[in-house]
Amino acid sequence: MPNAIIKLDNVSWAYSREKKPALSDISLEIEEGSFVAVMGRNGAGKSSFCRLLNGLIPHSLEGKLSGAVTIDGDDTRSSSVAQLAKKVGMAFEDPATQLFTPSVYDEVAFALENLLLEPEEIEAKVRQALETAGLWEYRVSPPSGLSGGQKQRLAIAAALAMAGKLLVLDEPASQLDPLGAREVLSFIRDLRARNGLTVVMATGSGEEAAEFADKILVLKDGSLAAFGTPREIFSDKELLKSCMIDPPQVSEFAACMEGRGRTLPLFPVNLDEAAESVLRWYKGSHE
């Protein structure tokens, strides 16, 4: 059975000058190698949850943390952001906030140089990261010249060049067009399969969560509202309404069918499941 790489024990966090906690009394475990989508309406605590996992909370943001956050055995209170960065890579909604060097190559090399690695090791790691991201041919180009999807892939590659266990993503595709979003999410899926990564991704897209995640963590007003499989989450109409979450369109279709007395044999969360379920329902209703 996989080990828990992330453990939260009665965790609450309140930003300075804010009366209401951003996160309240959250306890959960996330297994190593899993892909967890974090969902909830704006202000539910998704970004704060992500920042718990790489030590920005409590080390870089002002506020009060209670409870314990453990990442791969390390307590985030006693581990610095730099120490946690060796295990946890993080990419934000806007990659421009992370990209600041003159060239694509330097963007990946920067953090590795700060670790005082040997030049040969830095070169090998940079090449591997950029080839994996499909960006090696752009290595001498400025990051500003890349497309939106390429910039996000570069930000992820730079984060993972030094962190090999956990990838935390705060709505990485929200500012991209559909093609760029698909490009980035497919890259993330390939990275996970190739390296056995654990991925935690905040997202507002039911389609993204249904296609890529093993489990969905739902936040409501900073509290843990649910933690289950995509089918469990997207079939719970009351939960979705309460937390203002839009399910995948195929799940909305299944709910509509159920409301008309035509319950599908399998509640679908993606197109393949919808096609299979509709065919099974059609055959059963015409026998």
The CATH class that applies to domain 4-230 reads alpha beta
Tell me, what's the pLDDT at 286? 59
d(CA 5, CA 34): 9
CB 96 within 8 A of CB 151: yes
Q: Per DSSP, which regions of the chain are E strands?
A: 4-15, 23-31, 35-39, 63-71, 74-75, 88-91, 166-170, 198-202, 215-220, 223-228
* 102 cis-preceded (ω within 30 degrees of 0): no
Neighbours of 203 (CB within 10 A): 22
For 82-108, how does the pLDDT look when each residue is reduced to its tens digit (9 = 90+)?
889 889 988 888 877 888 899 999 999
pLDDT surpassing 60 at residue 227: yes
The pair of three-digit structure tokens given for residue 274, joined into one six-digit string = 């919808």
For 166-206, how does the pLDDT look when each residue is reduced to its tens digit (9 = 90+)?
999 999 888 888 888 888 888 888 888 888 899 999 999 99
Tell me, what's the pLDDT at 47? 94
pLDDT surpassing 60 at residue 287: no
Tell me, what's the pLDDT at 160? 82
Q: How confident is the model at residue 25 (pLDDT cuts 50, 70, 90)?
A: very high
Neighbours of 255 (CB within 10 A): 17
Q: How confident is the model at residue 163 (pLDDT cuts 50, 70, 90)?
A: confident
Q: How confident is the model at residue 219 (pLDDT cuts 50, 70, 90)?
A: very high
Handedness of CA 69, 25, 159, 164 (dihedral sign): positive
Domain ranges, ordered by start, for the chain: 4-230, 248-287
- What mean pLDDT value characterizes the chain? 90
**The model's pTM:** 0.90
pLDDT surpassing 60 at residue 143: yes
d(CA 164, CA 66): 28
d(CA 42, CA 243): 10
d(CA 221, CA 96): 29
Higher-pLDDT residue of 270 and 52 is 52
Q: How confident is the model at residue 162 (pLDDT cuts 50, 70, 90)?
A: confident
Which DSSP state fits 9?
Answer: E
Burial class (CB in 10 A: 0-12, 13-18, 19+), 115: middle
